[in-house]
Structure 1
């Protein structure tokens, strides 16, 4: 059996490259594929057969596979996909496996330079998480880092930047934040709004109207509660780092603090007010969200005026129309499943629990932070 395959980061680059357009064959079980997959991939659910070295179903579907292009095979951890790739090569196909499978896919980070001065976007395509390196001169602040802090250290080093602060836009429920660890390793402030601090210590608390210095510029704080009580958005020049308050096609769900209907309605009303405040910004303001679902645009950036004009963000249109009742009712009626392991992740990000050996696996899976 071959012991080498594609690095997940290489697959992410090829998937994002329109000219490459690889054929990705996912051999996991159908229910696992339906929940979370590489965009554009094809599912052939033969995982259990491959565990037993049974290639009969794969052989029966050989005619369904392209003979004139490379096949990239993915499974959970890279074992059964490697078996499938070997079998395909033996039958004349150009096939490779994805090292570490979907587990590796969930850890990939990709950097994007923006047209906005002083902002680098760092996208985690496998989980829908988006973070930022905001910089001026030779200084930088990291916004919403994942637990893979080496990604931000490398991004800063590539640009000869010194990280002088780290911040979260809110206490996350979908992924384990790397902000406290990164701030601790660098001995720089960790910023978080006071309403999301919970049991955390060594936090520089933020409030509406505060500013975080970055070189000779400032990252301006706007308190935008709703997704969480302490959610904030940051203004940086023409950019709005909107965290989980405003996405390109939805808004942040308001039920991850308290899922009772009364609490959700109250939080949704706060979110409506926060979004109403943000829509007062200039149309040219570039919205940089903290998450995405299946949007293919890279980098993830849209002017506020375009979001208003488009019909792809239904909830934002209710805010534009001043229809709070429709906004709240739509959220209450259309909430999706909660992010995987979100309660345990919240406890870690609130400082109530220490991360265990399974901290990487906790957050793998689809991103469900949007309200609809």
Structure 2
């Protein structure tokens, strides 16, 4: 019998549904320690293929035989070989089609909110911890912080009888390639980003817009700016009900302000944002961030990452209630943590300084999100 593959889409859906998944990751120990498939009900075992191929039974004693096993490697090849070794030993086994490369690029759409005026969807890039959004009203759609997989957004809008007319980036991203400019080119939509972020291509500066309106949507641009993660970070308020917080506020904390090598200066901006801008927003507003750090703790019962601002304030009281000196001290202590790999190169590309290939995009983006590190 030929071992069957499971697609990244199937695995993502299972994780969001909180199904039990048992994974045998056959990449190197360093690769596994740095980045792996995670979820509320995921258990993982790491046995490098180079170790198990000669005598698999000697290396898989802990692997359960009473549960299906998903074998994972970097690009699929080793996982196929490993799965073929396990099947004759009585395991119910499959492998991840395309490996971790495909996992890095999977976008899982989940409905977040709906009323008479809007439908709001979150796109979970489950292998990266990146989040993007679509707001549909009537026949128009707004996309927030899109990834580079433009066909996903265009097809999704089309299936719902809408076309993309507005695109916003909350800041210049450091851990993934933005799809904002590409999506605007392909749809003719208005593309907005802060001029202060230094992009060199054509766009509409958010500094010129207090709000963006279409159909039954009022998107308020908090270019009351919400700096902290980068100096030009902004948040977006939709119909006074939803706050797209970019990388300023996360379910588990606040965005890291140390990627520009101005830790204290940008941390002071972040403190002022928390104390002045965020303090004015009602507790029942739903916060929808640009990233998550831990799917196990941040995925809610409705299958999306987000929470009310009141709950986030309560869960992260040490950050939201700290004095200025306590706040700056916490931020400076965390600033030595690992930065997103290749972040300077990614920022340069997102700024439009030069063009590159899809292959380089893939290599630059491999690995976990490291933009959300300030937790209570």
TM-score for the superposition, normalised by structure 1: 0.91
Q: Is the 8 A contact 2:177 2:361 kept in 1?
A: yes
Aligned residue number for residue 29 of structure 2: 30
Equivalences for residues 238-277 of structure 1 within 5 A:
238-257=241-260, 259=261, 263-276=262-275, 277=277
1:149 & 1:314 partners in 2: Cα distance? 39
Corresponding position: 1:5 with 2:10: no
The one of 85, 88, 99 aligned to 2:86:
88
Residues 3 and 80 of structure 2 are in contact (CA less than 8 Å); yes or no, is this contact kept in structure 1? yes
> What does the per-residue CA deviation read over 1:313-347, in whole Å, with 9 as the maximum and x for residues that have no partner?
642342xxxx1111111111112211011011000
Paired residues, what number? 357
Instruction: Flag the 1:2–1:347 CA change in 2: closer, same or farther, 3 A.
Output: farther
Q: Residue 79 of structure 1: CA displacement? A: 0.9
Q: CA shift at 1:287, angstroms?
A: 0.5
| Residue-by-residue CA offset, 1:133-183 (whole Å, 9 max, x unaligned) | 012111111000001111111221221111101110000001000000000
**1:301 aligns to 2:303 (yes or no):** no
After superposition, where does 1:202-281 map in structure 2 within 5 Å?
Answer: 202-207=202-207, 210-222=210-222, 223-237=225-239, 238-257=241-260, 259=261, 263-276=262-275, 277-281=277-281
Instruction: Give 1:273 shift.
Output: 1.1
* 1:109-258 pair list within 5 angstroms: 109-117=107-115, 118=118, 119-196=120-197, 198-207=198-207, 210-222=210-222, 223-237=225-239, 238-257=241-260
What is the CA-CA distance between 1:4 and the residue it aligns to? 4.9
Instruction: Give the CA deviation at 1:371.
Output: 3.6
**Gaps (5+ residues) in structure 1?**
none
Distance in 1, Cα, partners of 2:219 & 2:203: 17
8 Å CA contact retained: 1:135, 1:215: no
Root mean square deviation, CA, Å: 1.7
- 1:199 Cα deviation from its structure 2 partner: 4.1
Kindly indicate whether the alpha-carbon contact (under 8 Å) linking 2:8 and 2:96 is maintained by their aligned counterparts in 1: yes
Task: Report deviation, 1:55.
Answer: 3.4
Once the 2 structures are TM-superposed, how far is the Cα of residue 285 of structure 1 from its aligned partner?
0.6
Structure 1 runs (4+) deviating above 3 angstroms are: 1-4
* Greater mean deviation of Cα atoms: 98-107 or 293-302: 293-302
Change (3 A) 1:317 1:65: same
Higher mean alpha-carbon deviation, 213-222 vs 81-90, is at 213-222
1:295: how far off? 3.1
| Alpha-carbon distance, 1:189 to partner | 1.3
8 Å contact 1:250–1:314 — kept in the other structure?
no
**In the alignment, is the contact (CA less than 8 A) between 1:74 and 1:97 conserved in 2?**
yes
Task: Classify the secondary structure of the residue corresponding to 1:5.
Answer: strand
1:195 is paired with a residue of what secondary structure? helix
Deviations 1:111-136 (A, max 9, x none): 11113543211110100000000121
Unaligned runs of 5+ in 2: none
Counterpart residue number, 2:290: 290
Cα distance in structure 1, aligned partners of 2:208 and 2:311: 26
Contact 2:49 2:82 in 1 (8 A): no
**2:45 aligns with one of 43, 49, 58:** 43
DSSP 3-state at the match of 2:372: coil
Mapped to 2, the partners of 1:83 and 1:130 lie a distance apart of: 33
